Structure 1
Amino acid sequence: MWRNRLRRCALSAAGLLGACLLALPAQARYYDDVIDSGYIRIGLYRDFPPYSWLENGEPRGIDVEIGKRIAAGLGVLFEPHWITPDENLEDDLRNNVWKGHYLDKDDTRPLAPKQLADIMMRVPYDREYAYMRDSTGEIVNEQVVMFGAYQRERWQVAYNGERLDSVATLAVFQYHPIGVEIDSLPDFYLTSAFQGRMREHTRHYSNVREAFAAMRKGEVDAVMGMRAEIDWLVESAADGRIRLGDNGFPMMGKQEWDLGMAVKQTYRQLGYAVEAVVDDLIRSGQMEKLYANYGLRYELPGLYQEVAEGY
């Protein structure tokens, strides 16, 4: 059907070019298509170290390394599909996994089909989120399957040991400034918890890297972010003043969560094949080594923890 629409568009005036573009289907691929093509397109977030970023034109990051091993496990080449975050995760899934953005930034050729990732990394592996419904009762993410949990993430505080003796409790940030990424969960938490007692000393930055740099310059005494980001920054800085807090986060809600991948719901066979590769990486200990290579602590996803504990 879409071929007929395209043919009609081609016969129309040049002013209808936009309609032709909208008529084109987004490219998502079955398992056999991926294998036959000789490559797999892995969805990775742009400029998001230590997970994925470009360095001297080369992809780097823990998700890049996992993506390369997924490709090797399937016997195909690794191809990054870079994702620029939209307003929320539902938009990212729609634009990069199952539908495509109407303005495809990665391919500006006339009549080029929208490009999609075959799989997308760093997606919450959470049943409640996967089956979340909108105001009409429809499942928001019904077009995607979330699978293959490969890491458990949590929040972490790092602090300047010359300014603070320890961070056993967040109460110290009633008196000491702490940096956070603006509009993040740590931002909302530190500005609202305990009747807002830490609000005055919460400083906002565009990302955790900027907050960490501010701590090293003495603008703040601590930072709060995702553990892998904090671990990577501490490892990269090699600054003997920086310590890791061992505090909890009372009344914060979800303090740890599993991360996995997403695939369009009609391409489950590809998801099963990718999940088998990732499962082997985890069970063989290779996944933990990949994280260690970036100076990161690795924590098994919940399902694997239950198996290890004998449930």
Structure 2
Amino acid sequence: MITMRRLLASLCLLMYCALAQAQVPHVAKVREFDDIIASGVLKVALYRDFPPYSFMVDGEARGVDVELAQQLADGLGLKVEVLWVTPDETLDDDLRNFIWRGHYLRPGIVADVMLRVPYDREFSYKQNELGELINELVVMFGPYQRERWQSAYDHRRLEEVSSVAVFQYHPVGVEVESVPSFYLASVLNGNIRKMLHHYPTTRDAFAAMQAGEVDATMGMRGEIDWLMSQANDRNLHLADNAYPNMGRQVWDLGMAVHESNRQLAYAIEGVLEGMLTDGSLERIYASYGMRYELPGLYQTE
């Protein structure tokens, strides 16, 4: 009986250990700088189906982030390999899946660098409930674009947008569960809420404005600029209004690498600074019909 109990106890212990081992998250191997150079390839994580930043056209990767990634790789004497990112619930999840741990759908594979990451000290040093850094395995660096919010409207149905107050009387389309959605639903004591129309993406909201379903839309300036360029419709105008009582209206976007790969970050920053100096990055944005604004780090008083 004692032998049988010991056998059962041993089996239970083995099962527990196997289960515990299976639950330990797999951490991908991060390539060191010398290994990246030796491979001849720079692996860059870019968001999937996110025009005008990164998207596919007839099987070819396009977008300002795609072209930036290609020029960064060229500057390091490398070819670029895109790892397409499908957004998870939070940016913290995206950094975990593509910079330091890897995604369960492709275990062991992470990018060397990820683009379109907020360059923000508060976000970089964000802590969990235990006071631990959430993104301690990530270095955020290389701000390359300043982004802000932008409204557009159809001049045939709306004479001008001098203030968001006009949206109390005109239907406005926004992306569902987006900052513009939350903002317009709450500002002016919620008086705009009844005029809000929600769509899956900013592109869909813009298309609804073109179709006459709504009179205006609001989204990130980069997206709105690109959509306006694509539409090429003189009846569609950009608004110059401000957004009172809104939180952060302007933010900088940069890149991220694993905290052990600072040498790669320094090398990329060197290439990026050259692109900022010679205007090549601004030209990339202009080719997509987008206004370019230097991040705060590079702006002079």
TM-score, normalised relative to structure 1: 0.88
Question: 2:41, 2:81 within 8 Å by CA — same for their partners in 1?
Answer: yes
Question: 1:22, 1:102 within 8 Å by CA — same for their partners in 2?
Answer: no
Q: Identify the match of residue 58 of structure 2 among 45, 48, 56.
A: 56
1:148–1:218 CA distance, 2 compared to 1 (3 A): same
Runs (4+) of structure 1 moved beyond 4 Å? 19-25
Query: How well do the aligned residues superpose, as a CA RMSD in angstroms?
Result: 1.7
**1:249-297, CA deviations, whole angstroms, 9 ceiling, x for partnerless residues?**
0000110000000001011101110111111111111111110011100
Question: 1:158, 1:223 within 8 Å by CA — same for their partners in 2?
Answer: yes
1:23–1:196 CA distance, 2 compared to 1 (3 A): closer
> Which runs of structure 2 are paired with 1:146-165 in the superposition (5 Å)?
146-165=140-159
Residue in 1 that maps onto 2:207? 213
SS of aligned partner of 2:135:
coil
Question: 1:70, 1:274 within 8 Å by CA — same for their partners in 2?
Answer: yes
Distance in 1 of aligned mates of 2:235 and 2:258: 46
1:267 aligns with 2:247: no
Distance in 2 of aligned mates of 1:251 and 1:207: 24
Residue in 1 that maps onto 2:37? 35
Computing the radius of gyration from Cα coordinates, the structure with the larger value is: 2
**1:219-241, CA deviations, whole angstroms, 9 ceiling, x for partnerless residues?**
00001000000000000111121
SS of aligned partner of 1:214:
helix
SS of aligned partner of 2:187:
helix
Shift of the alpha carbon at 1:114? 2.1
SS of aligned partner of 1:67:
helix
Distance in 2 of aligned mates of 1:25 and 1:170: 47
**1:119-157, CA deviations, whole angstroms, 9 ceiling, x for partnerless residues?**
000000000110011111011111100000000000000
Distance in 1 of aligned mates of 2:117 and 2:284: 19
Residue in 2 that maps onto 1:98? 100
Shift of the alpha carbon at 1:93? 0.3
1:224 aligns with 2:224: no
Distance in 2 of aligned mates of 1:46 and 1:115: 17
Residue in 2 that maps onto 1:13? none
**1:30-63, CA deviations, whole angstroms, 9 ceiling, x for partnerless residues?**
1111100000001100000000001111100000
1:245 aligns with 2:239: yes
Q: Which runs of 5+ in 2 are unaligned?
A: 1-17
Distance in 1 of aligned mates of 2:138 and 2:22: 26
Q: Identify the match of residue 284 of structure 1 among 278, 282, 294.
A: 278
Residue in 2 that maps onto 1:12? none
Q: Identify the match of residue 125 of structure 2 among 109, 123, 131.
A: 131
Distance in 1 of aligned mates of 2:230 and 2:238: 14
Q: Which runs of 5+ in 1 are unaligned?
A: 1-15, 105-112
1:59–1:21 CA distance, 2 compared to 1 (3 A): farther
Shift of the alpha carbon at 1:197? 0.8
Residue in 1 that maps onto 2:252? 258
Count of residues in Structure 1 that have an aligned counterpart in Structure 2: 284
Q: Identify the match of residue 122 of structure 1 among 116, 139, 158.
A: 116
TM-score, normalised relative to structure 2: 0.91
SS of aligned partner of 2:285:
helix
1:24–1:88 CA distance, 2 compared to 1 (3 A): closer
Distance in 2 of aligned mates of 1:57 and 1:20: 37
Shift of the alpha carbon at 1:102? 2.1
Question: 1:93, 1:144 within 8 Å by CA — same for their partners in 2?
Answer: yes
Query: 2:285 corresponds to which letter in structure 1?
Result: Y
Distance in 2 of aligned mates of 1:71 and 1:305: 25
Question: 1:144, 1:264 within 8 Å by CA — same for their partners in 2?
Answer: yes
Q: Identify the match of residue 195 of structure 1 among 189, 194, 209.
A: 189
1:178 aligns with 2:184: no
1:145–1:191 CA distance, 2 compared to 1 (3 A): same
Distance in 1 of aligned mates of 2:240 and 2:87: 31
Q: Identify the match of residue 84 of structure 2 among 82, 94, 99.
A: 82
Residue in 2 that maps onto 1:167? 161
Identity %: 55
